[in-house]
Amino acid sequence: MDCIFCKIVSKEMKSDIVYENDMILAFKDINPQAPVHHLIVPKKHISSMSDCSSEDSEIIIELFLRAKEIAENTPELEGGYRLVINNGKEAGQEVFHLHLHLLGGRRMSWPPG
Ligand code: AMP
Ligand code: ZN
């Protein structure tokens, strides 16, 4: 399978890792959209949110709780942060390995583009 995030997880491809445990990996986005822009991915390949099932519930909880923990340990995010999952092409998903965007360090606008 030719998945860039699987390659990042297996360390076949380089990334700037900010956190890792047995279930998830967090690394800096290569094209940051904010002063802080991390991606948090499950080590298991799941293509998108649509492909999650209840058997992945532990992974989903882990993604969100670790994102919160990383945010709490990042001084630039003291004032707030945004968590985003793009699901499907129409929503802007480009990499089909589930990932949570952790964004912040600047004022965010709403609605998103
Ligand atoms: P999405 O559009 O939600 O699928 O987000 C994919 C994200 O992955 C984009 O923000 C890209 O900048 C980021 N990205 C793509 N390739 C890499 C890479 N090799 N290392 C880090 N981030 C990447
Ligand atoms: Zn993958």
User: For 3-22, what is each residue's pLDDT tens digit?
Assistant: 999 999 999 999 999 999 99
Cis before 111 (ω within 30): yes
* Residue 63: domain span: 4-104
Any domain includes 85: yes
* Total number of domains in the chain: 1
Whichever domain contains 50, its CATH number is: 3.30.428.10
CA neighbor of 101 nearest in space, from 58, 49, 53, 44? 49
Catalytic residues: 99
Kindly give the number of the ligand 1 atom that is closest to the alpha carbon of 101: 3
Q: Does any ligand 1 atom lie closer than 6 A to the CB of residue 29? A: yes
| pLDDT in the model for residue 113 | 85
Any domain includes 97: yes
Percent of the chain with pLDDT strictly greater than 70: 100
19 dihedral zone (left: phi>0; alpha: psi -120 to 50; beta):
beta
User: For 25-43, what is each residue's pLDDT tens digit?
Assistant: 999 999 999 999 999 999 9
User: For 55-113, what is each residue's pLDDT tens digit?
Assistant: 999 999 999 999 999 999 999 999 999 999 999 999 999 999 999 999 999 999 999 98
5 Cα: distance to centroid of ligand 2 (angstroms): 5
Is the per-residue pLDDT at 1 higher than 80? no
Any domain includes 70: yes
Any domain includes 112: no
Any domain includes 17: yes
The pTM for the full model equals: 0.98
